[in-house]
Chains A and B, each alone.
Chain A
Amino acid sequence: MSSTQTLLPTQRLSRFLRGMTFQRQLGLAMAVGVLCLALFSSVASAWQGSRQVRDNLVQQSLRIASSLAAQSKLALLSGSPENVAEAVAATLAFPDVLRVEVRKTDGGVLLAKGIAVKGQVTSEVVPGRTTPREPYLDSETDEAWRFVAPVWTSPSETPFDVVPPTDEFLGHVVLVLSKDTLGQMVANIFLVNMLSSFFFSAVFLVVIRWLSARLTRPLNMLSSAMARAEQGEVQVRTVVDGPRDIQIMSHAFNRMIAALQERGDELQSHREHLEELVRDRTTELQLAKERAEVASQAKSDFLARMSHELRTPLNAIMGYAQILKMDRTLTERQLTFLGTIHGSGEHLLMLIVDILDLSQIEAGKTELKVSCVDPRALATMLEDIIRIKAVEKQLTFLVECDANMPRALMIDEKRLRQVLLNLLSNAVKFTQTGQVRLSLQWQGHDHARDLANVRFEVQDSGVGIRPEDQHRVFEPFEQAGDATSRAAGTGLGLAISRQLVRLMGGELHLHSEVGSGSLFWFELALPVVDVVQSEPAHPLNVTGYEGPRKRILIVDDVPANRSMLVELLRPLGFQTMEAMHGQDALDQIPATPPDLVLMDLAMPVMDGLEATRRMRAGLAGDRGKDLPVIALSANASSVHRDQALDAGATLFMSKPFERMALLENVGRCLSLTWVQQEPREQKM
């Protein structure tokens, strides 16, 4: 069964009407209504008319019969039809009178005239008490009526009669009338009613059509105007015409369009203004950005330069301090001074490193170097470092590592260590009594991503941080508390730590109460690896090396730096050569090929990078192509490292560097076996 067939009649009608215009619907409704009205009124009036006509005809016929009955008395009394022949003829002259009969009391016909009508039932009138006195309709067929009028004598009774006169039944008159007139009149009534109804219906429909056209024309115009407005035409107006309601609608539409247009213009104006404003602002922002970038670059450059500029003399200071420390002839007091010099240098270096770190982190130039780390080993190392300071302050230092902690995690060990060292250093620094605790807690394992959730906590029982200061401690160059309570430090540690924790995917939190201490903690989701490749560090106290003597070319434009390296290397048995710049080095290498080049990068005439590249290019002879080159630079950024390695350097070291680090690299490049001696200090 199709969907159309399953629709209800009302739905079909609704669908049918939906496809039609208002005018057509109105016309159809009026046409149907008027047609029904015409038919109904015609039928009703014809029916009513036929009843009235019938009643009139019947009454008229009864009167005719009655009259004839009166005129038939003498004929019936005398038994002579002639006495009534005239009246019968006159009665027959009436329209529709088909037959007249004058019958005697016994039913016998005295006189009968007219045509015989079939189907008429003849009922005999028998005189008696029940004999009707008045004429009546005896029978009726589709074609004719049969009226009977009894004929009685009519003696007049007066109060003067002692014996009331009796009336006498004389016979009856039968009148047969055709219904032709009735049918014709009914047909005429129906026809006239129908024709007049249809005529007025037609007039009415024309008027309705005209009126509806008056109604729909402005509606169509309005609809058309709306469609044009919808398509985006701007100057759309509709003609105000038609009935008052439509005029009001049209006015409203025109006003609406005008208002929309006004708003559109206003909007356009605003948009243009906004675009202009945005353009201006963008330009300004662009300029500001460019300025900021320039400033940022300038800042970075400045920091890098400053870092370089500071590191260079610091390198010499620290280097010589270390060299002097190796002198066993120094007195304890001199050693103390040297320690102070070295410590101050370290602090200065740390400051420089911190500033540079923060600068690089904020500039987004810091990258994590993820490696496989054993958290327990890390904890142990941190414990080793901090415990000394804690013991010095007579603090209890606790290290807790969760038993479920994985054996190896992928993380940038240096940065994590930096954060934890910073937090622990602060804890020790700001705790006078009590304890400092380092806790590594395993929070669970994300099997889907194979990540271990590790919570790092550093807690102390120190002075605590006031709530109003808690948000400031993470800001650069900020320290909690007042000036008197501030400890020594750059004030960059927590800022750097927070940035680093964020870089590692966590957030550094602080919970602290004044007098109860502070708790710094952060959580990291770290990849878990199965094997830990631990490289046990063996602190070296090198006094020389085994095997033949090695020659090292020191290339640096700063004589102090060259001298420091010479002083560092010669006591260990190395032969040294010095070059003031790259070109100088290139010139010397062919003549006296060294085993290793320590190449400063920033130099006049020819910098270390260019010199290295030329060496690798064979401009310093074949020996220069594979000669180990350790690039030394006061610029500690990874950019400089990469540049150096790209240029062909074997290793890169940032200045100032630890003696042992240098020696380790030298030893690795020359495959040396160091001759070691028990160190006097843990660290230089």
Chain B
Amino acid sequence: MGSRLFSAWREWRVAKWHLIGAVLGGFLYAGLAVAAEDEAGRANMAVVYPDIGEPYRSVFATMIDGIEDRVRGKVFSVPVAMGANPPSLPDELRRRDVRAVIALGRSGLKIASGLDRQINVVVGGVLSVPESEAQGMLVQSLAPDPALLFTKLRSFVPAARRIMVVYDPRQNDWLIRLAREAAKAQGLELLALEADDLKMAVRRYQEILSSLNPKRDVLWLPQDATTVEESAVLPLVLRESWNQNLVVFSSNVVHVRRGVLFSLYPDNAEIGRFLAGAALASMQPGSSPARGIQPLKQVLTAVNTRTAEHLGIDLRASPQRVHLVFPEP
């Protein structure tokens, strides 16, 4: 039996190397064609990103990894300190004949917005951009696509019918528009309440919390600096939702740790790849690169099992893939 196992193992080894050779050969062939394209693109591409400490450094580093993974090589990366605007950068970009810049974060966006219009700019690593600024460039927001969120919601909480959200229109008007469409597409009702300041937001939340029906209503906490205040409002919402068995989901993964049911969070490497692809595409002659702000589609899923348990939701019943689970085991 042992000898048979051994001969089987030897056959498997021989077969494995054949398989690997065939796969690598296939990749090599396909890769050579893409590589030629990437070689040219890599040379004319630059990444401008914030020179910032952890934990954000890792986020941007992962994005750059994704970019370089997409272009199959190192790109000209320019770290920019917060608030800085190096005057020599435009010359350097010209000298390098850079035709596409991937701007990451607020600093990157600010640098890129001042660049020559001939240079295609793809923005990532920002939450939202005023629509006036986003006209001339492709902005990949870190705000998860509401459609994906609602898909997850429906998967985890099939009973959910109405989604309530309090938002600051100055920040998330574009997102709410998308959300309305997505909700409508998925047969959900979206009750979006505007709040210009925190006090208004609190009142909105108090109204919501006092009037909702936990069995069909859910609360969505978007990435909104005005309405989602973490020291006072979040505890209030979480406390009340806990008390009322209200399902709360968020666009911020941190909130999952604090007690919301689930959240979608960015897949940074994938974002990088996407941005690199968009930049490469923008450099293609005759192409018309996409413009405007786009919600994040490269997302991962985080859930809070304790909250789910409290709410009586069986996450395992959902076919949705979960990438992060809180509380951490």
Contacts and interface: CB of A to CB of B under 8 A. Distances in A.
B45 interface: no
A78 B127 CA distance: 28
A156 B199 CA distance: 17
B230 A156 contact: yes
B127 A162 contact: yes
Interface in A56-84: 70, 73-74, 77-79
Interface in A132-169: 153-156, 158-165, 168
A218 to B, nearest CB: 78
B197 A159 contact: no
B225 A165 contact: yes
B301 interface: no
Given A78-B203, A160-B142, A162-B128, A73 B107 contact: no
A77 B233 contact: yes
B106 A162 contact: yes
B229 A153 contact: yes
A159 B202 contact: no
Give the interface size bracket for A toward B.
10 to 19
B56 A158 contact: yes
B35 interface: no
A77 B236 CA distance: 11
A160 B108 CA distance: 10
Contacts of B82: 159
Interface string B96-131: 000000000111010000000000000001111110
User: How large, as a class, is the contact surface on chain B?
Assistant: 20 to 34
Contacts, number: 69
B195 to A, nearest CB: 11
Contacts of A74: 202, 232-233, 235-236
A168 B127 CA distance: 21
Interface in B46-66: 50, 52, 56
A77 B199 CA distance: 5
Given A159-B107, A165-B226, A153 B130 contact: no
Contact of A159 (B105, B128, B229, B235): B105
Contact of B52 (A73, A153, A159): A159
B3 interface: no
B198 interface: yes
A79 B82 CA distance: 37
B188 to A, nearest CB: 27
Contacts of A73: 229, 231-232
Contacts of B142: 160
Contact of B198 (A77, A162, A164): A77
B127 A161 contact: yes
Most A C-beta atoms less than 10 A away, residue of B128, B225, B226: B225
B125 A77 contact: no
B130 A163 contact: yes
Given A78-B203, A153-B198, A159-B106, A70 B127 contact: no
B213 interface: no
A73 B201 CA distance: 13
B136 to A, nearest CB: 15
B171 interface: yes
B204 to A, nearest CB: 11
B125 A162 contact: no
A321 B56 CA distance: 176
A82 to B, nearest CB: 12
Given A158-B56, A162-B129, A168 B231 contact: no
Given A78-B206, A153-B198, A160 B225 contact: no
B129 A155 contact: no
Given A77-B198, A153-B198, A160 B232 contact: no
B50 A159 contact: yes
12 contacts: A74-B236, A77-B233, A154-B230, A154-B231, A155-B226, A159-B52, A159-B107, A160-B105, A162-B128, A163-B170, A163-B171, A168-B197
Interface of B: 50, 52, 56, 82, 105-107, 109, 125-130, 133, 142, 170-171, 197-199, 202-203, 206, 225-226, 229-233, 235-236
Interface of A: 70, 73-74, 77-79, 153-156, 158-165, 168
Given A74-B202, A153-B198, A162-B126, 13 more contacts: A70-B231, A73-B231, A77-B198, A77-B202, A77-B229, A77-B232, A79-B199, A156-B230, A158-B127, A159-B50, A159-B107, A160-B106, A160-B127
